[in-house]
Structure 1
Amino acid sequence: MNQPLGQDGVFVLSRDADAYVRLLADEGIVAAAATDAAAVAARYAGEPVVLGDPGLLVQALDDMDGVRWVQSTWAGVAPLLDAASAGLTVTGIKGVFGPQMAEYVLGYLLAHELGVIQRFQWQAEQRWVTTPTGRIAGKTMGILGMGSIGRVVAGRAQALGLRVLGCSRSGAATAPFTRVFAVEDLHAFLGECDYLVTLLPDTPDTAGLLDADALAALPAGAVLVNAGRGSVIDEQALVAALGDGHMGGAVLDVFNQEPLPQDHPFWTTPNLRVTAHVAALSEPADIVAVFLDNFRRFQAGKPLQYTVDARRGY
């Protein structure tokens, strides 16, 4: 077991605060905590280290004058970018969400090819339908967002027989991707994708990247999976591409507005599957493992891992 890490004041602001506090206590760290932003003013006592959910932290940082470093519990840190721009040290989470995300992406692509939903309907109708199913092996997956999560998804996809392409700012070769395109060649990249997986963060450069022209560059019947951020997609263009049959399907876990409004066209768009931002959940034990490594670095005066660059947005 690791040695106790000392008492450099830690404050936890998370809906899962109780779980985080227990896990930290196992490592000798006594942390104050709150589960909502409204309680921070009464409970925060100048702790320099804060572990928390960005959506809550953005509401509470004005009441946390002593904070020197914030460790996000989420992969996405968009709510904390203003604080990072103002000079606060913010660190993200890497190396945790890849396996979950790979299961989500591949699970839905397999369900699409196997016609799982349609076959459930045929069973309910007591219909014996011998239409053959599709396969993912031998097809091409393109991934936008080649960070730690994207690399895990790529590796798992290759294990199932997929050819995996990537697209990045530089276009530099990156394992395990078969080929990487530069973002200037986005449409050429899209033209090779039977499946397009987007794992991009919410930044000015990614907003609206998949507009009508980009979606039209996909081959007929292509399937889109977006588990990054909703802002990357032109929503009206996606509805049109699915409605006219150009695209074979879409699976969306993230949206410009969450929860998705009940009158949003995505609910009724043909061949579109909606999930409620569940592709990769923050498990406290996983997050604490990343936090503890950074906490040791903080105590030793060493550089922290996964520091957010506000200019890049992640």
Structure 2
Amino acid sequence: MQITIVTAQAQQYVNALSPRFPQCQWFFAEDASLLSQAALTSEILLATPNEAAKIIKQMPNLQWLHSSFAGVDALLKRHLPQHYKLTNSRGVFGPLMSEYVFSFLLAHTQQHNIYQHQQQQALWQALPSISLQGLTFCCVGSGNISQHLATTANHFGMRTVALSHSGAAKAAFTQVANFEQHKQICATAKVVVAVLPNTPQTLGLLNEKFFASLDDEVVFFNVGRGDTVDQAALLAFLQAKPKATAILDVTSPEPLPKTHPLWSQDNCIITPHVAAPSRVSDIIELFASKLKDHLAGKELTDRVDFSKGY
């Protein structure tokens, strides 16, 4: 079995994986343009989506492609073949995403910024307590990452709900509804976390009507994809609702232009797509587990449905 790896850390992947799977022949490069012709005959490809998109037309033997990212939109273009099984790395991002979301959420409810300001004034003054317990935590999207976020929210005693295209029930959530029911679901949510992939169906899905359904003091996160949010509608919402807060780890485009008004919006926090980095050590273990199953003839987990885009 031939395996090709194309990432900036390709050498690190091969050093870790090849001793564990000596029966496989390994090829690697940091850039797809540097691959040998023999590497293009591999049956398995581990790569970033952008690098993989450059070469899958040249890989007729490809059986399985594993994306080192969760998002795979670069591989969903109409001109690209879909003759292989596609998996992504969604399974490793849930814990990292929980750390990101709840670091901001706890700082917000524990009022760290106010206490820090009071410290600068040598002011000893207790503020009214705010707790996460009993608050409604809503995920927009109900996949693997959202389910992990909901599990974390459950530990804090929050009520967890979700919106999805199907509205199908998921064990991590008290309730899952379809997007048409966003008014009923979002109206009671104090925290809303968008974890949507970038697909034709999600483009601009979180629009003016969506933001109109949110609580005036909501904490809104976008940790999915920037294109899923109508940023003009979000800006208008934040300007009209000064007690609301938006925390954006993704924008459209990336990076956000320096002149964009969201940068200077007081109730908006922007981070540079750092919520859940693809850590090589995590991807190595995930891929090794999947490769072991694949070589044993077992079904691959975290399969991407090409028709859905996730």
Deviation at 1:188, TM superposition (A): 1.2
Please report how far the alpha carbon of residue 89 of structure 1 lies from its aligned counterpart in structure 2 after TM superposition.
Answer: 2.6
1:210 has 2:203 as partner: no
Count of residues paired in the alignment: 307
Matches within 5 A, 1:19-98: 19-29=12-22, 31-40=26-35, 44-62=39-57, 64=59, 66-82=61-77, 86-98=82-94
More moved, 154-163 vs 124-133: 124-133
1:112-127 aligned within 5 A: 112-124=108-120, 126-127=122-123
Question: Which amino acid in structure 1 is aligned with residue 208 of structure 2?
Answer: A
1:255 to 1:156, Cα distance in 2 relative to 1, 3 A: same
Q: Which moved more, 1:109-118 or 1:147-156?
A: 109-118
Structure 2: which amino acid aligns with 1:208? Answer: G
1:1-314 → structure 2 map (5 Å cutoff): 8-29=1-22, 31-40=26-35, 44-62=39-57, 64=59, 66-82=61-77, 86-124=82-120, 126-245=122-241, 248-314=244-310
Q: Percent identity?
A: 34
**Structure 2: 5+ residue stretches without partners:** none
Cα gap change, 1:89 to 1:174, in 2 (>3 Å): closer
1:84–1:309 contact (8 Å) kept in structure 2: no
CA contact (8 A) 2:142 2:164 kept: yes
Q: Does the residue aligned with 1:167 lie in a helix, a strand or coil? A: strand
TM-score (norm 1): 0.88
Residues 203-222 of structure 1, C-alpha deviations (whole Å, 9 max, x = no match): 12222121111101111111
CA distance in 2, matches of 1:308, 1:301: 18
Distance 1:23 1:46 in 2: 22
Cα distance in 1, alignment partners of residues 280 and 166 from structure 2: 34
Deviation at 1:60, TM superposition (A): 4.0
For structure 1, the residue ranges without an aligned partner over 5 or more in a row are 1-7
Structure 1 consecutive aligned stretches of length 4 or more whose deviation exceeds 6 Å: none
In structure 2, the CA distance between the partners of 1:301 and 1:261, relative to structure 1 (3 Å rule), is same
Distance 1:130 1:307 in 2: 50
User: How many Å apart are 1:245 and its aligned residue?
Assistant: 2.0
Partner residue, 1:4: none
Q: Name the SS for the 1:56 alignment partner.
A: helix
Paired with 1:35 and 1:247, the residues of 2 have a C-alpha distance of 46
Structure 1 CA distance for aligned equivalents of residues 120 and 31 of structure 2:
44
With over 3 angstroms needed to count, the CA separation of the structure-2 counterparts of 1:45 and 1:237, relative to structure 1, is closer
* CA deviation profile, 1:256-288 (whole Å, cap 9, x unmatched): 212222222221112111111111122223222
For 1:127 and 1:264, the matched residues in 2 are separated by 36
Structure 1: distance between partners of 2:54 and 2:218? 40
The SS at the match of 1:44 is helix
Q: How far 1:194 moved relative to its partner? A: 0.7
Return the TM-score normalized by structure 2. 0.89
Letter in 2 for 1:235: Q
Instruction: Give, in whole Å, the separation in 2 of the partners of 1:45 and 1:202.
Output: 28
Shift, 1:164, TM fit: 1.0
1:302 Cα shift? 4.3
Task: Output the amino acid matched with 1:51.
Answer: L
Report if aligned partners of 2:56, 2:81 keep a CA contact under 8 Å in 1: no
